[in-house]
Chains A and B, each alone.
With several copies, the nearest count.
Chain A
Amino acid sequence: MCKKTVIEAKIIQNQEIAQGVYRMVLSAPEIAAGASCGQFVNLYPKAKHTLLPRPISICEIGEDTLTLVYGVVGEGTREFAGYNAGETIRVSSAIGTGFKPQKTKTAVLVGGGIGVPPLVELAKQMSGEKIAVIGFRDEPFLKEELEKAGAKVYIATDSGKTGFKGNVIELIQEQGISGDYFYSCGPKVMLKALAAYCESINTPVQVSLEERMGCGYGACVGCVCKIKENTETGYEHKKVCKDGPVFLGSEVVWDE
């Protein structure tokens, strides 16, 4: 009956791969076994004044390991960044409804900043041609991992320091990148613009959303987003942590 759990996992690696961005590899065979691309895990800080779980997408699923890539933004991720290999961290089972890889000819994977990580496992899971278009403020990361997973990688940066100067949608248009299915994870403004773009070119897109979470496992209804439904309001509040984080771009109500 108890199909989910929280374990103390051993940290195998915890290394800065770009400024303020860390790759953490955990030894967690039982969690890796139940995980699929686009799901996330909850990481629990040790500091007792920070209570809530930190949801982090699964970047890669190994036989016995999970790879996470996270940015340092606040107290919890700052704590995580301080861990050394050999220490342990509390981590939950893989949670949520992830990407559903489709059997299409050319898949376009669009990532923004700290939204890039889940695209790596997605790329690994897909056969067929795959193009990754990834945008950053300044410093790219996970390019090699995406290439190793067989993707052709295009990079955009806000600063223009690396690759195309501009955002991913401008890059897609500039390079005339096209495909028959899009997948994306990144800031909401990017996802919203991409969903509009995909609608305009009549191509489906799966998007991975973010929301502030309470429980992180479906019990509190804290983390909802608006999904189109045949109700009075035209939408229903669905849980990002359970019904998502991945939804079809066309079913999301992009109001804000």
Chain B
Amino acid sequence: MSNHQGTEKKLDLSVNIAGVTLNNPITTASGTFSAYESGAFYNLNELGAMITKGVANIPWDGNPTPRIAETYGGMLNAVGLQNPGIDYFIAHELPYLRQFDTKIIVNVAGRSIEDYCEVAEKLNGTAADMLEVNISCPNVKKGGIGFGTHSEMAAKVTKEVRRVSKKPIIIKLTPNVTDITEIAKAVEAEGADAVSLINTLLGMKIDVHRKKPVLANKMGGFSGPAIKPVAVRMVYQVRRAVNIPIIGLGGIMTGEDVAEFIMAGADAVSVGTAAFVNPTAPADIKNELIEYMQKYNFKSLKEIREAFTE
């Protein structure tokens, strides 16, 4: 292990996403992070960025319980995007986030294109550094079909949000599609500044003792280390299909997992379910990434990416 910092070139973890510089590539996956609660366990200044829970134009009540189920190496959730609405968020949550020396990425939810646009517009004057637009929400106007599963709809949301927003926008893609590169190309063409992937797979668990689905909502979003091979594959595919930055996520548990996503083509990453297994996971994973880089004498994320040969 070579470890001669100071004399040599210094280790640089920073990454630029659509003009915004993150101190390091570790961000918090939307819906698995709360600044107040997570910050009780580790120093949030360690993060490259905080990605918030999804926020909609009005408060959403979310789904009935149980909302959570554990699976083999993974979990299901059907929180249903419970959130207090953008006005409350701007008034009561955003000010708290501003105290930290890290970037703020606001995850945006919506049931119609107008919903998304309303949130994006309201965030224009605020401290938010970027928006992450979650297009996995069902489009209620189109009978509940996910925006993210059809390239025309994905393109449409991107176009309209891009038009009204003054911030860089990241489009968050769902893995529940036949060809994710098609969706990625569609949103890139309409001005997405970056994409993040993957959102949760759609899964289900039945309790054979109670003889009913574990989740009140029956199906839910499947996340955690179990799904990592799908996420890595999709990041790899999308990297070869678009030129905009990629935030990679899905099952990241260790610093080496981060390196895996970077080699597959990610510019930054998000840590989600890992923070349930270990509340300090994002900070720990950042330190493990540094150890990994020191072991192989990588000085930047770019060097990791370039070391990958197919």
State yes or no: do A and B come from one complex. Answer: yes
Binding site for A on B (CB under 8 A): 31-34, 36-43, 53, 61-62, 65-70, 72-75, 77, 79, 82, 214, 224-225, 273, 275-280
Q: Which one of B33, B37, B69 contacts A242 once the chains associate, using CB atoms below 8 Å?
A: B37
Interface residues of A (CB under 8 A from B): 1-6, 44, 48-53, 92, 211-225, 233, 237, 242
Contact partner of A233 (CB less than 8 A), chosen from B42, B61, B74, is B61
* Choice from A5, A52, A219, A233 contacting B34 with Cβ under 8 Å: A219
User: Which residues of A are found within 8 Å of B67, using beta-carbon distances?
Assistant: 212, 214, 221-224
B68–A222 contact, CB under 8 A? yes
Give the distance to chain A from B231, nearest Cβ to Cβ, in Å.
16
Contacts of A48 in B (CB 8 A): 72-73
Question: Which B-chain residue is minimally distant from A76 (CB atoms)?
Answer: B70
Residues of A within 8 A of B65 (CB): 211-212, 223-225
In the bound complex, residues from chain B placing their C-beta under 8 Å from that of A51 are 70, 73-75, 224-225, 273, 276-277
Whether B40 contacts A217 by the Cβ 8 Å rule is yes
Q: Contact: A219 with B68, CB < 8 Å?
A: no
Inter-chain contact A215/B66, CB cutoff 8 Å: no
B69 near A212: Cβ-Cβ < 8 Å: yes
CA distance in complex: A217, B35 (Å): 12
Task: Give the chain B neighbours of A6 by CB distance below 8 A.
Answer: 41, 278-280
A214 touching B77, Cβ below 8 Å: yes
Residues of B within 8 A of A220 (CB): 31-32, 34, 68, 77, 79, 276
- 20 A-B pairs with CB atoms under 8 Å apart are A1-B43, A2-B39, A4-B41, A5-B41, A50-B70, A51-B74, A52-B68, A92-B279, A212-B69, A213-B68, A215-B37, A217-B38, A217-B41, A219-B38, A220-B79, A220-B276, A221-B31, A223-B67, A224-B62, A237-B62
Most A CB within 10 A of own CB, among B31, B68, B77? B68
B42: chain A residues at CB < 8 Å are 2
| Set B66, B79, B214, B278: member contacting A221, Cβ < 8 A | B79
Question: A219, B32: Cβ atoms under 8 Å?
Answer: yes
For the complex, what is the distance from the CA of A53 to the CA of B278, rounded to whole Å?
9
Q: Given known contacts A214-B77, A220-B276, what 20 new A-B pairs fall within 8 Å (CB)?
A: A1-B39, A2-B41, A5-B41, A6-B279, A49-B73, A51-B276, A52-B68, A52-B75, A52-B276, A53-B276, A92-B279, A214-B67, A214-B276, A219-B33, A220-B34, A220-B68, A221-B79, A223-B65, A224-B65, A242-B37
